[in-house]
Structure 1
């Protein structure tokens, strides 16, 4: 291969203005950073990678934030000596420090600012490894082996605010202020040559001993390890990003790659509806390259007048460029990595891209200046039949440019040579050009939205899948990778599936509505409309992704994935391992809710109602010890504040069919619009209470699962229906195919069931045939057995209810007498509901019962003694000769005081 002249890598920054604040308030407001901080998501425990110029790790914003920094050697193998003192005579290394500060800078106050305003990097509790591979000594650096340096640290995210002035998608490069035709090897018609060039051009050019390039290393990390690579789009005002940013168009395996453009947060407006108004012609910064040719992996972030670390001293400085926009995205990626630790870099990219704010109002035209007095005029028209370079009458274009507010630009275009036209295929200065582009060529997938990213994935996009994401569901219901070398033509057994793996003991809540996007040829490298990079064997379609009319989800791993949104993707949901839960966001976040200070509230209520006839004070003691019981039973949601969380209560929806494999579980309620096949375990209804008082919904309607097609249960599968005090959750399908298996009824967590056998729950199967199951059974708790007789569940005390090695028969008898009382107020019902709960382990149950009997929490005060005296009179339900025994047992250590 011949030598190619490729310009030295340039750090992508265009200006700097010394600022007097550290906060970037408008920028964080538009991308909703604070919403994540308010959730406690600050990047704690996350480490990102930075490829940039050397970083001044002594700066207060960066102190103790840089875990390791590897500084490059030049082609003479001499280590570069950073210069952080900036002046007009000597180039300095200020770029890297500024970039790192935006992404992970410390949360501190500016000592030189009278307002004492905070500075916060996006992920201000994260840390970084820095590969300082770019400097200012004008020599080509010896590339750092990034795949070793970063992969050894298990870094998931690498920021790159640099690039080359080559634009393969439009076949041009920028050289000495001239935008010229690039020639073979750097154009959209030869991806193999492009990839080979960018992976090897340092050899034989600047460094004869080098055996790699930064790009080659990053490609390896993205392709082989799914590390997220963020790249600045470039600052030349070109309609397409630089070569490094557009690489995924030429290699479909590079799905963990994001290109970042810049907008001006001072000129963009955020409306109350959440819509973003970018109609100001300068809101889309004049310098930022657009996303033509890189639409499906690009995103916008703040990049104008961004305040961050000044490497020269301890102050801040404002700079502008897509270099500043990229670390906003890398910092956001760190927040996503903290929120969802099981996601890899590719999946983090998908979360950020699918949740980007697409509700952006744009002007009808923008004008970019890409070289000295040379312009690209871009008409924004999503519905145009022809997009790209177009021919237009020069006078009409000038009028449109003037009408759009570009007065100076219109005058310059008027005096340029000839008509606006397509650049020639000969080297030399190009003329002004006119484009018609769709919205995504301007904003990519949208504007970074960190708040929405905290809700997880929002789209299954076929354009971001690879051929490794195509599966076959064979006749034995086993899912296997579809073979591109031996596979036959497509049938109805193939599925395009996006994989989410949740590790054992982990839970991952995706609360966003998840939609889908089908394959679009124009978003991919193609020859005559055929995406050859995805082609398979000769007997398969040239582009297999065009076969699919829906995109699906593959749940893997032993942990739990919770979907709480209205999910309109139509492909198959295949649960291979672990658990998929359909729960509203409120149900999930409050599933461990325990009413705070139940013990004190119940005791207060007991004291206020001390004259209530036959109200046993033993339950007052149960309530008074309930704080200890609650500790054994459950933990508070999220932040251990034991506060009920307000969240969306809408029941989730799945639009496609669902398949539960043998080792998998589906639990919850909501709606599945298509078919549901069960080879594993299906639990209908949520065990967690559905209201804030820990008492089950009386009608049970919120716990039903509706299946719009056929429910099929295989011979070894299990169907579990949750029941509460009055009703049971129901599986309502249009059709049922029951081949056998188990039908099990299980009580709702913390629900109060009276154990005297006098109250019953009538089972409603909603038309499902019960005689086809191999067995039907109920699940008991430590205190209660649930007998199932002729479609009726009867709660009865277990023989060993409220019995341990330390309890007396009289204590057990007293507890059983009090528990079913119809006059118990809700506080007492809740106390028994927790004690009798299925959720309590035997050891915790034993400890709780012993604590109730032991009464060690009671103090020998006159108030307590009076309470105990009243208890003597209120035990009229017991034989007289047993009255003193439970009181003495319950109040161990206080018998002498009573005498």
Structure 2
């Protein structure tokens, strides 16, 4: 088994900040009537936050060591099941992501793995800007593994990322190898990362022409107040999608009892009032929120449900680039032992890479049209609506997304509007006696002729009997 040493986080990294709650923000819908699964309305023309391009506080390195490699650059000789299931080999005959820039907002992306070639671009730093690497230093390994799933090229072996020729814009926004001890104005943080700097990172990525932005991070917990930072995040997302034409792909969230994920599954009888809110996945109208499925096709046990889930992709038994070596890895070593790489963190970059393929093949589609195409061509769950709260519109289907002809994309297409059908109940018509009389007369005449025929026949038969 290939592995990386130290705690390369396979799940989601928890951002510092209040967990949003819908009813805390005034909107056109009364707070009491709005379910907590729906975010507040964003006031029209709300500007995105200013991107300061630096950490908001001075973080310090913790005693945790950076991720290392013990794979010895050996190859994993089998093709990842997710890659087979998604039929990426055929999808790459239509598009490879060439000319499309994917932003990876995460723990950074180390560009040294040969499967990245020269496609990693330093994009931004919100953790530690003292080394001048501008997003290309990854002490955790998480961001590099995410980037590998999204866009690693195929060299030796069978592994390949979803968009092997896409550009990778590296932005480091979080890390659990850093901490902030607090001061008079800011609370202590056990790891680097804040909702406000995530909003700034989205603005930065969009301004640097990223047409796909992957966020394998979540701020997840029980519903609480909707903070100013949450509003900044919402504004940044809306601006990136509608003004800068970027598709934002984000992890739906992982269940966890270790304090690094969502505290409780959204298995409520009323799915619109949830136990846990996962942000930015929560902003469902503006992002593609990605749930995880297993090799069997079932929803992963850790994948968080919610009305905001848009789509699903493989999120278990992940293979990706070794974040500190030249080979591949399929596991992480932590203080608790060796664990497979898994999580909605890794389902998300599959979708991000496939989004890049669609953006290459259909360059004239706007961000929201691309999102609609991916949802329309997904393998829908078997119910009346074609959507549920576990996998959204279903398993992403790359070949269909790259080849389907959708009437909704035709010029001048107008969605059919439902029409009201007016019906009236009328009494049955009265009996029409003339045809009834004619019919009964015909029946009577026919009966009389039949009786006459039988009488004549019997008479003849008797006569012949006497003559014999």
User: Please, what TM-score do these two structures have when normalized by structure 1?
Assistant: 0.32
- 1:757 counterpart residue number: none
- 2:288 counterpart residue number: 258
Query: Quick one: distance in 2 between partners of 1:455 and 1:326?
Result: 22
Query: Quick one: distance in 1 between partners of 2:308 and 2:405?
Result: 20
- Judge conservation of contact 1:48–1:127 (CA < 8 Å) in 2: yes
- Judge conservation of contact 1:160–1:229 (CA < 8 Å) in 2: yes
- Which of residues 413, 417, 438 is equivalent to 1:553? 413
Gap runs ≥5 in structure 1: 8-15, 86-91, 110-116, 167-172, 174-181, 186-193, 201-212, 249-253, 269-282, 361-381, 384-436, 461-498, 502-551, 555-568, 573-655, 657-899
Instruction: From the superposition, tell whether residues 131 and 288 of structure 1 become closer, same or farther in structure 2 (CA, over 3 Å).
Output: same
- Which of residues 278, 290, 299 is equivalent to 2:311? 299
Instruction: From the superposition, tell whether residues 196 and 64 of structure 1 become closer, same or farther in structure 2 (CA, over 3 Å).
Output: same
- Judge conservation of contact 1:131–1:146 (CA < 8 Å) in 2: yes
- 1:354 counterpart residue number: 376
Query: Quick one: distance in 2 between partners of 1:337 and 1:131?
Result: 21
- Judge conservation of contact 1:22–1:316 (CA < 8 Å) in 2: no
CA deviations on 1:110-153 (whole Å, 9 max, x unpaired) are: xxxxxxx2221111011111221112203444727335533333
Instruction: From the superposition, tell whether residues 43 and 50 of structure 1 become closer, same or farther in structure 2 (CA, over 3 Å).
Output: same
- 1:134 counterpart residue number: 174
- 1:646 counterpart residue number: none
Instruction: From the superposition, tell whether residues 60 and 32 of structure 1 become closer, same or farther in structure 2 (CA, over 3 Å).
Output: same
- 1:198 counterpart residue number: 230
Query: Quick one: distance in 1 between partners of 2:265 and 2:18?
Result: 20
Structure 1 residue 442, shift from structure 2 partner: 2.1
Query: How many pairs were matched up?
Result: 312
Q: What is the 5 A alignment of 1:300-699?
A: 300-318=312-330, 319-358=341-380, 440-456=388-404, 458=406, 460=408, 553=413, 570=416
Structure 1 residue 311, shift from structure 2 partner: 1.0
Instruction: From the superposition, tell whether residues 17 and 301 of structure 1 become closer, same or farther in structure 2 (CA, over 3 Å).
Output: farther
Instruction: From the superposition, tell whether residues 289 and 343 of structure 1 become closer, same or farther in structure 2 (CA, over 3 Å).
Output: same
Query: Quick one: distance in 1 between partners of 2:322 and 2:158?
Result: 16
Query: Quick one: distance in 2 between partners of 1:155 and 1:83?
Result: 16
CA deviations on 1:223-247 (whole Å, 9 max, x unpaired) are: 4333111010111162266121011
Bigger RCO of structures 1 and 2 (CA < 8 A, at least 6 apart) = 2
Q: SS of the residue aligned with 1:347?
A: helix
- Judge conservation of contact 1:264–1:304 (CA < 8 Å) in 2: yes
Query: Quick one: distance in 2 between partners of 1:60 and 1:341?
Result: 28
Structure 1 residue 53, shift from structure 2 partner: 0.8
Structure 1 residue 348, shift from structure 2 partner: 1.0
- Which of residues 219, 225, 233 is equivalent to 2:238? 219
CA deviations on 1:631-657 (whole Å, 9 max, x unpaired) are: xxxxxxxxxxxxxxxxxxxxxxxxx9x
Instruction: From the superposition, tell whether residues 4 and 228 of structure 1 become closer, same or farther in structure 2 (CA, over 3 Å).
Output: closer
- Which of residues 189, 209, 213 is equivalent to 1:154? 209
- Which of residues 112, 122, 126 is equivalent to 2:162? 122
Q: Is residue 234 from structure 1 mapped to residue 264 from structure 2 by the alignment? A: no
Structure 1 residue 6, shift from structure 2 partner: 4.9
Query: Quick one: distance in 1 between partners of 2:396 and 2:78?
Result: 18
Q: SS of the residue aligned with 1:49?
A: strand
Instruction: From the superposition, tell whether residues 44 and 198 of structure 1 become closer, same or farther in structure 2 (CA, over 3 Å).
Output: same
- 1:245 counterpart residue number: 281
Q: Is residue 55 from structure 1 mapped to residue 109 from structure 2 by the alignment? A: yes
Q: Which is greater in Rg?
A: 1
Structure 1 residue 314, shift from structure 2 partner: 1.5
CA deviations on 1:27-46 (whole Å, 9 max, x unpaired) are: 1232232222233x111222
Instruction: From the superposition, tell whether residues 69 and 59 of structure 1 become closer, same or farther in structure 2 (CA, over 3 Å).
Output: farther
Structure 1 residue 72, shift from structure 2 partner: 1.7
- 1:106 counterpart residue number: 153
- 1:279 counterpart residue number: none
Q: SS of the residue aligned with 1:261?
A: strand
RMSD of Structure 2 on Structure 1 (CA): 3.6
Q: Is residue 42 from structure 1 mapped to residue 64 from structure 2 by the alignment? A: no
- 2:300 counterpart residue number: 285
Q: SS of the residue aligned with 1:242?
A: strand
Q: SS of the residue aligned with 1:119?
A: coil
- 1:409 counterpart residue number: none
- 2:85 counterpart residue number: 30
Structure 1 residue 197, shift from structure 2 partner: 4.8
Instruction: From the superposition, tell whether residues 84 and 221 of structure 1 become closer, same or farther in structure 2 (CA, over 3 Å).
Output: closer
- Judge conservation of contact 1:232–1:261 (CA < 8 Å) in 2: yes
User: Please, what TM-score do these two structures have when normalized by structure 2?
Assistant: 0.59
Q: SS of the residue aligned with 2:403?
A: coil
